[in-house]
Amino acid sequence: MAVYTLPDLPYDYSALEPAMTGEIMQLHHDKHHAAYVKGANDTLEQLAEAGESASPTATVGLEKTLAFNLSGHVLHSIFWQNLSPDGGDRPDGELAAAISEYFGSFEAFSKRLSTATTGVQGSGWGVLGYEPLSGRLIIEQLYDHHGNVGVGSTPLLVFDAWEHAYYLQYRNVRPDYVARLWDLVNWPDVARRFADARAGTPSLPNR
C-alpha cells in the first residue's frame, strides 16, 4: 500500500495565470510531483527488501534515492500551498517583524531570497526556513531536493528553481520567473508555517 499520495492542487491549474500558465502547473503537478510521490513509495519498498540482504551496502544508493524523492514530494506539497491566486503584497504581524529582525527589511529579505533562487547552479530551490537551534529565520539554497540545508530547518516558503517550473513560459530567464513568484506568495500560509515551526509543531502537508 502506498505510504505517500499526491495532494490535489488547492486551486485550478490556470488559477495562477498569467504569472504561471496552466500548462506548466498541470505538467508540474501531474507529472513531476507525481513522479516524486511514486519514487518515494517505490523506494520504501525496495529498502524493505534490501534491508533483508546481508550486504551492508545494499541500502546506500536507495537511501539517497529516498531522500531525493521524499524531499521532492514534501517541497512541492509546500510550494503549491505557498502560492495563491490572491497572493502577493507583503506579510504582516510576527512574520513581518521576524523578517525585519533577521534580514533588516522586507526589501533586503526579498532580494536575498531572489538571489538564492536565481543563483542555484543546476536544479534546486530557494528556501526561507526556520532554524530551531537559534530560533531564527534563515535563507537556504537547496540543491536538487535534498542537499545543502541544515538538519532540522523547517521550510516556510520555497521557490522552485528547477527548469520544469518555468522553462515553457520564461525560457532561460529564471530571474523574470522569480520576480513574478513574489506576486503569488500566500503570506498567511507562510505565517502559519512560521507560527507552527516556532511552537515545535511544524505543519507539513498531507502525506
**Nearer to Mn ion among residue 140 and residue 160 (C-beta):** 160
C-alpha cell at 195: 507560527
**Nearer to Mn ion among residue 137 and residue 161 (C-beta):** 161
User: Which residue number places its CB atom closest to Mn ion?
Assistant: 160
DSSP 8-state code for residue 89 = S
Residue span 13-52 as binding mask against Mn ion, x where in contact by CB under 5 A, dash where not: ----------------------------------------
- Minimum Å gap between C-beta 70 and Mn ion is 14
Residue 161 half-sphere exposure toward CB, CA atoms < 13 A: 27
- Minimum Å gap between C-beta 36 and Mn ion is 8
- Minimum Å gap between C-beta 160 and Mn ion is 4
**Nearer to Mn ion among residue 40 and residue 95 (C-beta):** 40
**Nearer to Mn ion among residue 144 and residue 183 (C-beta):** 144
Residue span 128-167 as binding mask against Mn ion, x where in contact by CB under 5 A, dash where not: --------------------------------x-x--x--
- Minimum Å gap between C-beta 117 and Mn ion is 12
- Minimum Å gap between C-beta 107 and Mn ion is 27
**CA–CA distance, 192 with 195 (Å, rounded to integer):** 5
Helical axes 34-50 vs 60-82, angle rounded to 10°: 150
- CA 133-139-141 angle, to 5 degrees, is 115
**CA–CA distance, 119 with 11 (Å, rounded to integer):** 29
Terminal C-alpha separation, the chain: 13
**Nearer to Mn ion among residue 17 and residue 144 (C-beta):** 144
How far is the CA of 15 from the CAs of 5, 83, 85, 121, in angstroms? 22, 10, 6, 29
Residues that bind Mn ion (CB under 5 A): 160, 162, 165
